[in-house]
């Protein structure tokens, strides 16, 4: 008996359509990190079937793998052109999101018709051409000769905080910088950026997390459909006397006669160790607390108050307790919960 991860491809398709309907422009699908841990080989074609025509990965190897399941779609690589790898971009028909004058020069040196995006730095300070580099380009436009520049993009620092003035500053700066590239299309918003209002809309949106059910509007109701459900069977139930402890270092001590259920899911499965004595699972509709530490392959829950028996399933991630809720208990983000989900679950793709 193993834990099972149900991934609702129909919900991902619904989420893509919902996001696409938010704005007049085009909507890409960000499928980096194996589609946020959910499986790019399954998620990519499901998004394509919903109408998505452009995909973003972070790494070249991710894009090469995606090309095998998406033979005809545009695939762009956010982390840019890696040194000495232009031939692979060409062989697999991949588009680099160029982030420096050096990458621009390397891509031109590959010397054919060269589709590319340019990443403009507006405050994130991770990737993208700086103001100084853009000034060099403005002086010498021939540096782009031969390139087929399809989009200029930027990435928001705090899109999930609508009140943060940095959003407005980045948008203005980006619009100003983009004027240097007349006729070239623009791309600004990630998932949360799409909810900042119409003046953040551009020709292309780049949602990732919201496709996978993560709330793009933290603090407000989640407009996205639920995608990921993780259930695990109870391996054993132990009856504890008051005063007995559970797990490593005996961090949890029974205050009453207790029934403790053991699940075969641990931190090696992405069920974070930081959840010790904090997480909630569900037995049907009833929340039950994690007790003791999270081990590599096992966790323990207090099922004293529910009629659980060995073999019954507990829900670790579900509509009542989604990745954002578990993340709050672990002190991390829903993004990290999803991308940490391990390879030992039985994965089922449903709904497509």
Ligand X SMILES: *Cc1c(COP(=O)(O)O)cnc(C)c1O
- Give the residue, chosen from 30, 66, 265, 298, that forms a contact with ligand X under the rule CB under 6 A: 30
Q: What is the DSSP letter of 47?
A: H
Supply the minimum distance, in Å, between the C-beta of residue 291 and ligand X: 33
Cα–Cα distance, 191 to 64 (Å, whole number): 24
Among residue numbers 70 through 99, which ones bind ligand X (CB under 6 A)?
78
CA dihedral 47, 52, 53, 56 (to 10 degrees): -70
Catalytic residue among 36, 74, 212, 248: 248
Give the integer Cα–Cα distance in Å for 64 and 104: 21
Smallest separation, CB 191 to ligand X (Å): 3
Between 82 and 244, name the residue whose CB sits nearer to ligand X. Answer: 82
Q: How far is the CB of 87 from ligand X (least distance, A)?
A: 24
Report how far residue 80's alpha carbon sits from residue 243's, in angstroms, rounded to the nearest whole number.
57
300 pairs with which residues across the strands?
262
Region 151-180 residues binding ligand X, contact defined as CB under 6 A: 155
Does 208 bind ligand X (CB under 6 A)? Our answer is yes
- Rounded CA gap, 20 and 52, in Å? 9
Known catalytic membership, residue 271:
no
Residue 144: CB minimum distance to ligand X, A? 21
Q: Which of 42, 190, 262, 299 binds ligand X (CB under 6 A)?
A: 190
- DSSP lists the bridge partners of residue 50 as none
CA 96 to chain centre: 20
Residues 6+ apart with CB under 8 A from 111: 146
Tell me if 45 sits within 8 A of 70, measured CB to CB.
yes
Residue in 32, 36, 267, 282 annotated catalytic: 32
Is residue 206 a contact point for ligand X (CB under 6 A)?
yes
The stretch among 206-214, 236-244, 284-292, 305-313 that binds ligand X (CB under 6 A) is 206-214
**CA dist., res. 228 & res. 5, Å (int):** 7
Active site residue 248: yes
Site for ligand X in 210-229 (CB under 6 A): 210
| Contact residues for 17 (Cβ-Cβ < 8 A; gap 6+) | 50, 51
- What single-letter DSSP state applies at residue 185? E
CB of 127 to ligand X, least distance (A): 7
Task: Figure out which of the listed residues 207, 247, 292, 334 binds ligand X, where binding follows CB under 6 A.
Answer: 207
Local structure of 65: helix, strand or coil: helix
192 versus 300: smaller Cβ distance to ligand X: 192
Stretch that binds ligand X, among 47-55, 184-192, 220-228, 270-278 (CB under 6 A): 184-192
Q: Which residues are catalytic?
A: 32, 248
Residues that bind ligand X (CB under 6 A): 30, 32, 78, 155, 190-192, 206-210
């Amino acid at each position: 008996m193993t834990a099972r991860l149900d991934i609702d491809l129909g919900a991902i398709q619904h989420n893509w359509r919902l996001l696409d309907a938010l704005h007049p422009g085009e909507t890409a699908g960000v499928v980096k990190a194996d589609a946020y841990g959910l499986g790019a080989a399954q998620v990519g074609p499901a998004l394509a079937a919903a109408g998505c025509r452009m995909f973003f990965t972070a790494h070249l190897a991710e894009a090469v793998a995606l090309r095998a399941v998406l033979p005809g779609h545009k695939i762009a690589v956010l982390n840019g052109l890696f040194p000495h790898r232009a031939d692979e971009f060409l062989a697999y028909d991949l588009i680099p999101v160029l982030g420096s004058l050096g990458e621009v020069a390397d891509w031109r040196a590959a010397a054919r018709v060269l589709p590319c995006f340019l990443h403009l730095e507006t405050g994130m300070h991770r990737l993208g051409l700086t103001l100084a580099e853009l000034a060099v380009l403005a002086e010498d436009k021939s540096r782009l000769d031969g390139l087929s520049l399809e989009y200029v993009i930027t990435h928001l620092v705090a899109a999930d905080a609508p009140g943060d003035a940095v959003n407005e500053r980045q948008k203005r700066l980006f619009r100003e910088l983009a004027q240097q590239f007349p006729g070239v299309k623009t791309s600004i918003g990630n998932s949360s950026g799409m909810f900042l209002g119409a003046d953040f809309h551009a020709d292309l949106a780049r949602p990732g997390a919201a496709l996978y059910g993560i709330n793009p509007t933290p603090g407000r109701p989640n407009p996205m459909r639920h995608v990921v459900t993780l259930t695990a069977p109870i391996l054993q139930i132990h009856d504890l006397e008051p005063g007995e402890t559970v797990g490593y270092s005996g961090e949890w001590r029974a205050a009453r006669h207790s029934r403790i259920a053991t699940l075969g899911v641990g931190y090696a499965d992405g069920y974070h160790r930081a959840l010790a004595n904090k997480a909630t699972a569900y037995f049907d509709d009833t929340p039950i607390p994690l007790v003791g530490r999270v081990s590599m392959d096992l966790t323990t829950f207090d099922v004293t108050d529910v009629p659980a028996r060995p073999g019954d399933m507990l829900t670790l991630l579900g509509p009542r307790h989604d990745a954002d809720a578990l993340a709050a208990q672990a002190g991390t983000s829903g993004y990290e919960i999803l991308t940490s989900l391990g390879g030992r679950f039985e994965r089922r793709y449903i709904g497509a």
